[in-house]
């Protein structure tokens, strides 16, 4: 029995279809999630199913060029592991935990499996606290929850990544936590730009970055989120620190799962998505939680296919979130940045019990004013502003000033816009909105409120 466990368990490749590899083992079958090495460790395969008593089917986490039938495969005896420890801070990793920032490998790290269970219900914390971002439109209308999950929904090119980087910039400034940035299936240049920006902003020492880029095989993009979560759980459970987990982009995780599922030969469900999409997403999302040890607050960008919020990928992601920030192409085209759709975005935190009575009433009044303006737009388009009653004209003036006031210059876009970035406290944001609703600025031109910080900047 003893030499049975010490001898390497080897098998042979019997079929290669793209990223899917079938391997035959004569002595013993490796368990599900076991990692196999082929071609001298150049090809890494994760076992996803046992076909019969001799054969397993796995997905390759690396390119399979050069892999041929009959090649020897070795069972590593364990699952995919991620490095954890103080040594991973300020570093950049791939899905295997290899450093990809041209620095030597970190020394003082332990390795943990990426397949971990979510925290037990009894250990979860249920108190609700607000997480301030310094971005007016988010703090006023879509307040984020400490230890909650927020989604940034938007089609291509409406500013999801810019908003994410701005939040990293603002948050590391005023909190002692750790940020973990997980890039799933994003462009390589975005990873490189983010690394450089974070270095220049001086926030890299509190940050870990994990990337599974667009050009990598689906197996690797599918697992990179789990690797990042394992690191986040270490800082929460072992170091009792608050963690900010940024995922860009959760849709690419679903997409990688869809590719894996198709390659494994599962029947697709609606719109070609994998039948196991709900389970796969939950397995990732349920690990992001508040416990008695600390909180993992997560902000996730969600690409919305064809701007259609009823797409199954968007619908499944919505159900996990405590705040949904919807970005609109129309607002982006009007130059109103951040291009948040003020009526579609919502947060479970925006209740009087959590944000307080004044904030709640103000937010409701802002929504009402904007919704009335939305209804009046058709009338204005057909008959002109002059045909509206005096009251309606006031509503339009307030709404247009609110829209301008809720824009904000970002620190991360200074080099493009030439406008200095602003961080605005929640009290200043509420104060500004309240004064606009009270018609204090009705004689000020609308553009004076555009791209400013606190409302007092108007006077100057």
Residue at token pair 């391997």: 23
Say if CB 37 and CB 71 are below 8 A apart.
no
Q: Are 184 and 256 in contact (CB under 8 A)?
A: yes
Interatomic CA distance for residues 401 and 433, integer angstroms: 9
160 flagged as catalytic: yes
Tokens of 112: 């943990």
The answer to whether 83 touches 93, Cβ cutoff 8 Å, is yes
- Cα angle vertex 189, ends 187, 191, to 5°? 80
pTM above 0.85, yes or no: yes
Of 228, 35, 213, give the one whose Cα is nearest residue 116.
228
Q: How far apart are CA 343 and CA 168, in angstroms?
A: 25
Q: Tokens 């490095």 correspond to what residue?
A: 83
Which neighbouring-strand residues pair with 92? 209
- How does pLDDT run along the chain (460 residues), one tens digit per residue? 444 556 789 999 999 999 999 999 999 999 999 999 999 999 999 999 999 999 999 999 999 999 999 999 999 999 999 999 999 999 999 999 999 999 999 989 999 999 999 999 999 887 888 888 999 999 999 999 988 999 999 888 898 888 988 888 887 665 668 999 999 998 888 888 888 888 887 778 889 999 999 999 999 999 999 999 999 999 999 999 989 999 998 999 999 999 999 999 999 998 999 999 999 999 999 999 889 888 899 999 999 888 898 999 999 999 999 999 999 999 999 999 999 999 999 999 999 999 999 999 999 999 999 999 999 999 999 999 999 999 999 999 999 999 999 999 998 888 888 999 999 999 999 999 999 999 999 999 999 999 999 999 997 5
Catalytic residue among 69, 187, 420, 438: 187
Which distant-in-sequence residues (6+ apart) come within 8 Å of 321 by Cβ? 148, 149, 150, 151, 300
Catalytic residue chosen out of the listed positions 91, 136, 146, 160? 160
Three-state SS letters, the chain? CHHHHHCCCEEEEEEEECCEEEEEECCCCCCCCCEEEECCCCEEEEEEEECCCCEEEEEECCCCCCCCCCCEEEECCCCCEEEECHHHCCEEECCCCCECCCCCCCCCCEEEECCCCCCCHHHECCCCCEECCCCHHHHHHCCEECCCEEEEEECCCCCHHHHHHHHHHHHHHCCCCEEEEEEECCCHHHHHHHHHHHHHHCCHHHEEEEEECCCCCHHHHHHHHHHHHHHHHHHHHCCCCCEEEEEECHHHHHHHHHHHHHHCCCCCCHHHCCCCHHHHHHHHHCCCCEECCCEEEEEEEEECHHHCCCCHHHHHHHCCCCEEEEECHHHHHCCCCCCECCCCCEECCCCHHHHCHHHHHHHHHHHHHHHHHHHHHHHHHHHCHHHCCHHHHHHHHHHHHHHHHCCCCCHHHHHHHCCCCCCCCHHHHHHHHHHHHCCCCCCCCHHHHCCCCCHHHHCC
Q: How far, in Å, CA of 89 to CA of 178, rounded?
A: 8
213: Cα separation from own chain's centroid? 15
Residue of 186, 233, 280, 403 with catalytic role: 186
| Other Cβ atoms within 10 Å of 130 Cβ, number | 19
């Amino acid at each position: 029995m003893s030499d049975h466990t010490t001898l390497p368990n080897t098998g042979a490749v019997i079929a290669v279809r793209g990223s899917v590899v079938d391997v035959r083992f004569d002595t013993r079958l490796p368990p599900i999630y076991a990692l196999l090495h082929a071609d001298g460790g150049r090809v890494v395969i994760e076992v996803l199913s046992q076909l019969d008593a001799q054969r397993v089917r796995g997905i390759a986490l690396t390119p399979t060029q050069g892999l041929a039938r009959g090649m020897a495969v070795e069972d590593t005896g364990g699952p995919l592991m991620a490095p954890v420890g103080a040594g991973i801070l300020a570093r950049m990793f791939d899905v295997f935990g290899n450093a990809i920032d041209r620095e030597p490998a970190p020394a003082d790290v332990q390795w943990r499996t990426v397949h971990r269970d979510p925290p037990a219900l009894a250990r979860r914390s249920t108190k609700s606290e607000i997480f301030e971002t310094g971005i007016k439109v988010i703090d006023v209308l879509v307040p984020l929850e400490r230890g909650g999950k927020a989604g940034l929904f938007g089609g291509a090119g409406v500013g999801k990544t810019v908003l994410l980087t701005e939040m990293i910039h603002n948050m590391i400034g005023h909190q002692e936590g750790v940020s973990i940035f997980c890039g799933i299936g994003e462009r390589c240049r975005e990873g490189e730009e983010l690394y450089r920006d974070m270095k220049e902003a001086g926030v890299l020492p509190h940050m870990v970055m994990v990337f599974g880029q667009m050009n990598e095989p689906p197996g690797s993009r599918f697992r990179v989120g789990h690797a990042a979560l394992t690191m986040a759980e270490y800082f929460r459970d072992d170091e009792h620190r608050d963690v900010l987990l940024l995922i860009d982009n959760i849709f690419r995780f679903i997409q990688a799962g869809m590719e894996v599922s198709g390659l494994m030969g599962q029947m697709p469900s609606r719109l070609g998505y994998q039948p196991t999409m709900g389970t796969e997403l939950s397995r990732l999302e349920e690990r992001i939680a508040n416990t008695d040890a600390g909180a993992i607050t997560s902000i996730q960008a969600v690409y919305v296919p064809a701007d259609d919020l009823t797409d199954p990928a968007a619908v499944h992601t919505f159900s996990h979130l405590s705040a949904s920030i919807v970005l609109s192409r129309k607002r982006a085209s009007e130059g109103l940045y951040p291009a948040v759709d003020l009526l579609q975005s919502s947060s479970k935190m925006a209740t009087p019990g959590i944000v307080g009575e004044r904030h709640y009433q103000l937010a409701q009044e802002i929504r009402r004013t904007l919704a009335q303006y939305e209804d009046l737009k058709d009338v204005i388009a057909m008959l002109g502003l002059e045909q509206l009653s005096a009251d309606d004209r006031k509503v339009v003036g307030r709404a247009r000033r609110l829209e301008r006031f809720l824009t904000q210059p970002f620190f991360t876009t200074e080099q493009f816009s030439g406008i200095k970035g602003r961080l605005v406290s929640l009290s200043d944001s509420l104060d500004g909105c309240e004064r606009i609703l009270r018609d204090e600025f009705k004689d000020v031109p609308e553009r004076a409120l555009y791209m400013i910080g606190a409302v007092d900047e108007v006077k100057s």
